[in-house]
Structure 1
Amino acid sequence: MNGMSASELAERAAVSRVTLRNIETGVTSARVDSLLAILTALGVVDRVIESTDPYRNDAARVRIDEILGAGGSL
Structure 2
Amino acid sequence: MADLKCEILETFVELPKSGKYHKELNLIKWGDNSPKYDLRGWSDDRSEMTKGITLSKEELITLKNGLGGIEL
TM-based fold match above 0.5: no
What range is the shorter-chain TM-score in?
under 0.3
Query: Which has more helix, going by share of residues?
Result: 1
TM-score relative to the length of structure 1: 0.27
Q: Greater CA radius of gyration, 1 or 2?
A: 1
Query: Which has more strand, going by share of residues?
Result: 2
TM-score relative to the length of structure 2: 0.28
